[in-house]
């Protein structure tokens, strides 16, 4: 079974009396709840048997293990590549992905037990590889402090990628963790246009708030790389937009930046194209022609955007950090997406201190993405 490692245990016998009845026939579901402060979102609280997920052998990901405390994401990014993974739970990849959030309420306790096993090799663990660990639900459930503490106290290097400014809450904990293990931090930010951000990633903190978070992390002495993905054709790829983006990231003190064009894998493509047809009908035909029947923009567009990204990165001092994600323009299926400086811990126990992060191929990324729960 694909998700055997994330199988859920039966409902505990001490489930609180009066809890809302479970809304799904899902083993291990404790309760499904809605609250006024999270209007339109249902939280499905589950107890998980395991927390660590191994990236399949042969992957070129610069990490071997992941932890994802949530499934589904209230950030509601129209372009999110992880949408299809929600269909494995019999949810849909559209509105359900945004509003039906599965919460592994015991993830920190289970993780600590797994990390304490003699067989654990203290390999780097990545958070934020599928859905955002600092989405709004984290403000209610506070799962990340326990996860960070468990990793640091076990001597396990960790990395976090997020759009959530709630990460600032855990800066003191992350500073302490960084004295124990290598820590990498990354912010996802691909536009500075507040109106566009509100329209296409409506559940996220706006660009200004995320830029402030980058500055706060750097002021705290922590690394912070930025994943400037996706760059949206005809919406965020103008000279003015790219100049503003890379200039703002440089001013905020980002340690590195990687950029890449919109990627429309099945499950995401349908939801995004529906959004384009509704909000920018004048672009619907252009997007269909640009992407054809595949997941990637045309080679001509990617070549054009790669040149723009290189120019504006160099202009703002990022020429030595990881670059454009679609580097293999002949075959986007084997593109190399390098994580920027700051996101991947720079030193791992047992590895040379100057060992560089491994490049990530899109073919490998696609193959493992569905396993990163």
% of the chain residues with pLDDT over 70: 80
Query: Which value, in Å, is the radius of gyration of the alpha carbons in the chain?
Result: 20
Residue 79 pLDDT: 97
pLDDT at 324: 53
Residue whose tokens read 């919406």: 235
Q: What span, in angstroms and rounded, lies between the C-alpha atoms of 168 and 243?
A: 27
List the domains of the chain with CATH numbers.
4-369 (3.20.20.70)
pTM, full prediction: 0.85
Q: What are the backbone angles phi and psi of residue 29, rounded to the nearest 5°?
A: -75, 120
Tens-digit pLDDT string for the chain (373 aa)? 233 333 333 444 444 433 444 445 565 799 999 999 899 999 999 999 999 999 887 777 788 899 999 999 999 999 999 999 999 888 999 999 999 999 999 999 999 999 999 999 999 999 998 899 999 999 999 999 999 999 999 999 999 999 999 999 999 999 999 999 999 999 999 999 999 999 999 999 999 999 999 999 999 999 999 999 999 999 999 999 999 999 999 999 999 999 999 999 999 999 999 999 999 999 999 999 999 999 999 999 999 999 999 999 999 999 765 555 545 555 544 343 468 889 988 753 333 333 333 333 333 333 333 333 3
Q: So what's the pLDDT on residue 307?
A: 93
Distance CA 177, CA 183 (A): 7
Q: What is the model's pLDDT at position 356?
A: 35
Residues 336-358 have pLDDT tens digits of 346 888 998 875 333 333 333 33
Contact 187, 163 (CB under 8 A): yes
Of 191, 201, 294, residue with least CA distance to 234: 191
How far apart are the C-alpha atoms of 45 and 137, rounded to whole Å?
A: 11
The pLDDT tens digits for 237-252 are: 999 999 999 999 999 9
């Amino acid at each position: 079974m694909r998700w055997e490692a994330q199988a859920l245990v039966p409902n505990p016998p001490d489930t609180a009396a009066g809890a809302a009845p479970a809304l799904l026939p899902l083993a291990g579901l404790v309760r499904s709840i809605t609250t006024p402060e999270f209007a339109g979102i249902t939280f499905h609280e589950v107890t998980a048997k395991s927390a660590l997920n191994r990236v399949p052998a042969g992957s070129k990901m610069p990490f071997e293990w992941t932890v994802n405390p949530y499934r589904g994401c209230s950030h509601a990014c129209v372009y999110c590549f992880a949408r299809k993974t929600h269909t494995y739970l019999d949810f849909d990849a559209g509105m359900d992905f945004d509003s039906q959030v599965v919460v592994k309420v015991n993830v920190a306790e289970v993780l600590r037990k797994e990390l304490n096993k003699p067989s654990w090799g203290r390999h780097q663990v990545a958070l934020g590889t599928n859905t955002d660990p600092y989405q709004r639900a984290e403000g209610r459930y506070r799962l990340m402090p326990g996860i960070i503490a468990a990793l640091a106290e076990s001597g396990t290097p960790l990395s976090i990628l997020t759009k959530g400014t709630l990460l600032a809450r855990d800066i003191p904990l992350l500073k302490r963790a960084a004295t124990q293990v290598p820590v990498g931090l990354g912010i996802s930010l691909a536009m500075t246009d507040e109106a566009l951000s509100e329209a296409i990633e409506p559940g996220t903190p706006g660009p200004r708030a995320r830029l402030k978070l980058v500055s706060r992390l750097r002021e705290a002495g922590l690394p912070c790389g930025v994943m400037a993905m996706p760059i949206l054709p005809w919406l965020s790829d103008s000279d003015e937009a790219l100049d503003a983006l890379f200039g703002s990231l440089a001013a905020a003190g980002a340690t590195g930046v990687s950029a890449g064009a919109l990627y429309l894998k099945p499950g995401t493509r349908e939801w995004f194209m529906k959004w384009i047809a509704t909000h920018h009908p004048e672009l619907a035909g252009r997007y269909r022609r640009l992407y054809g029947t595949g997941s990637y923009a045309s080679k001509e567009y990617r070549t054009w955007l790669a040149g723009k990204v290189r120019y504006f990165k160099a202009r703002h001092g990022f020429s030595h950090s990881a670059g454009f994600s679609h580097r293999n323009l002949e075959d986007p299926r084997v593109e190399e997406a390098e994580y920027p400086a700051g996101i991947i811990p720079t030193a791992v126990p047992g590895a040379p201190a100057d060992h560089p992060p491994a490049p990530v191929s899109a073919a490998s990324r696609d193959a493992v993405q569905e396993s990163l729960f």
